[in-house]
Structure 1
């Protein structure tokens, strides 16, 4: 670290030369000219204990493992890093900004009257919501007769098993939503893309219930890390 930079990190940002302050740099040059550390410092706003907001931001990126790892964290994860100068209020601000970024990714993948024609399209919609989470989420996509997406419904959060996720819950939502078919989606926080024995057993149960109710299960998508797997593509669900 240069001596000039080290001196800046030991004084409030308000005492820096105006051209060096992250907020002023963004206003003058735009966000693309700022580093990830500087952008985080704007959210953090103030430092503590002789450290500037920029120094706190640098520590946050270092201790979280970088921006990609930070993007996977929620409010509690950020607090558990125990970074001086990063309390509850600032952790909430950062967690909210990360959630907005995830929702933007999801919205950008949507179009009005979206017709789902492939597993890739399903993964593009659900991936941004699920891939960075540290707990399992099981959701169902309700489809009209032409495979138009009606809505997404979260059925369960936490450990996925047959005692938590039941056909009754899934098909109740399908009936209420007047769905002609459904697609099941859940995530693997471990990053392992392979379906577990429980995943396969649960899917078979859902498929059989769907046949009995004349609401077919078209696919079951597992989101894991940056990838996904499709039960239908692998022949585990007959189309």
Structure 2
């Protein structure tokens, strides 16, 4: 797949409601300076850009396909037309992205890397130990780390006497079953780190929020042991 400059003359796919209309039949360097993504960023900041313009900046240039050329901006709009939102796009795999016209491994990798950086920044634990006052705090701190995982992960969070997070440990990876979660391992980490409290959590890759029978069994084992 041959790369072409960021500016091309091809027709842009129709913009989604609420997004900027893209200039058809004109290369980007011929647009008014206030409409060019890079110049818009420099003049008004990154928040001044539409979603498709952000994707265009990640790609840097367009591409040539058998049916014609596509600019970086067109590629971004095409992806949003297909997946509707950046959130929907962020859940796509390398295979799904490279199945789109004009998206090769290089551009798909750039996009996946950008989304992963955002997730890691969101998941970083601040230098000051965060305090847990309720389920909302757990979701805020660990939601970014636990969502979108392809397999089930069982994790224990260690708390000090002020209910501040001291750290966390992965206990099990794979299908969750009461026979597979070692309760001794959960409490071993708590004792080694001198934690005064723990929070146990796991994810459902299916997105189903209802606890399974195995989830309930694991919880009962932990309560009985603790």
What SS does the aligned partner of 2:211 have? coil
In the TM superposition, what whole-angstrom CA distance separates every residue of 1:13-44 from its partner, at most 9, and x where no partner exists? 45655443312221122122211010111001
Partner of 1:41: 56
Q: Contact 1:110 / 1:125 at 8 angstroms: preserved in 2?
A: no
Distance 1:89 1:15, change over 3 A: farther
How big is the shift at 1:111? 6.7
User: Structure 2 length normalisation: TM-score?
Assistant: 0.76
Q: Is the aligned partner of 1:80 residue 2:99?
A: no
More deviation, 50-59/113-122: 113-122
Distance 1:156 1:63 in 2: 36
What SS does the aligned partner of 1:7 have? coil
Distance 1:14 1:132, change over 3 A: farther
Partner of 2:76: 57
Which structure 1 residue ranges, 5 or more long, are not aligned? 212-239
More deviation, 83-92/137-146: 83-92
Partner of 2:117: 100
Which structure 2 residue ranges, 5 or more long, are not aligned? 1-13, 16-20
What SS does the aligned partner of 2:79 have? helix
Distance 2:103 2:147 in 1: 26
Partner of 1:6: 24
What SS does the aligned partner of 2:24 have? helix
Q: How many residues align?
A: 203
Distance 2:53 2:74 in 1: 9
How big is the shift at 1:4? 7.5
Which of these residues, 155, 164, 169, is aligned with residue 148 of structure 1?
A: 164
Give RMSD over aligned pairs: 2.7
Distance 1:169 1:19, change over 3 A: same
How big is the shift at 1:60? 1.8
How big is the shift at 1:137? 2.5
Distance 1:90 1:158, change over 3 A: farther
Distance 1:200 1:43 in 2: 44
Q: Contact 1:136 / 1:188 at 8 angstroms: preserved in 2?
A: yes
Q: Contact 2:155 / 2:169 at 8 angstroms: preserved in 1?
A: yes
Distance 2:46 2:199 in 1: 39
Partner of 1:224: none
Q: Contact 1:138 / 1:186 at 8 angstroms: preserved in 2?
A: yes
In the TM superposition, what whole-angstrom CA distance separates every residue of 1:177-234 from its partner, at most 9, and x where no partner exists? 232221101222333222111110111122223x2xxxxxxxxxxxxxxxxxxxxxxx
Q: Is the aligned partner of 1:188 residue 2:215?
A: no
